[in-house]
Amino acid sequence: MAQFLMPVNRPSFQSLMPVYTVESKSRLEFFAHDLRTPRPSMHFPMRTHWCGPEEVHALVYNPTHEYWPDVQKCVTPTTLAMQVGVPFDLFVNRRNAVCYAGVYALHSMREVGQFGEPIPPDVSPMAIAHAAGATGPFASKIIECFPDGQIRVECFGLQCLGFDEQLYYALVQREQSRLQSQSQSQAAAPGEEPKTRGSLKRPAESQGGRVG
């Protein structure tokens, strides 16, 4: 990923304001809304890893097989492979919130042997198992997809192409409006302290961190 240039309009990731908090809104509820962008949206919770302290380009890991309960068999996932080279909006976890990271493109890493590898130590095994459909009542189906019981993954590169400021500010404003409404509702309830939020401001440059 070192060969990719750093987009000049991409703010520091740590300076970005969250577009929603994990504990207050479900991921499905968030992405069910019209994000008003011609690009698809991608979110890989606990399956991404930054390539360096700049927190611009990243890697994402996907299971090599998934269990589909509708057909009761394991299949080779094609969603990410079909997305290679197509720009999309990337959202990543940061502690208890999710942030808009920018416009990205996927790159296949198969040419460098990044297929069928064990789960890296800095990636959540539970998140990979969830992506493989091998959780809850289907946890035992992991053996059907991976006979040795060890989930294998494929690595994709995440190249940052730029940053959609209009989308970013619209999402942040929407979340702050929601939090303000929630705070007012809590203030109206007896015995509860209202919550306060800071005003919306442009992201400032700061030192990067890790993907959540």
Domain presence at residue 170: yes
Beta carbons within 10 angstroms of residue 5's beta carbon = 10
Domain presence at residue 201: no
Count of domains forming the chain: 1
Domain presence at residue 205: no
Question: Which positions ≥6 away from 138 have C-beta within 8 Å?
Answer: 67, 69
Domain presence at residue 41: yes
Of residues 211 and 120, the one with the higher pLDDT is: 120
Whether the model pTM is above 0.75:
yes
Domain housing 45: 13-187
In the chain the first and final C-alpha atoms are separated, in Å, by 20
What is the per-residue pLDDT across 48-95, written as a single tens digit (0 to 9) for each?
A: 999 999 999 999 999 999 988 888 888 888 888 888 989 999 999 988
Domain presence at residue 28: yes
Domain presence at residue 210: no
Find, among 18, 211, 7, the residue nearest to 120 by Cα.
211
Label residue 29 by pLDDT band (50, 70, 90).
Answer: low
Domain presence at residue 154: yes
Domain presence at residue 172: yes
Distance between CA atoms of 77 and 101, rounded to whole angstroms?
24
Q: What is the mean pLDDT of the segment spanning 155-160?
A: 95
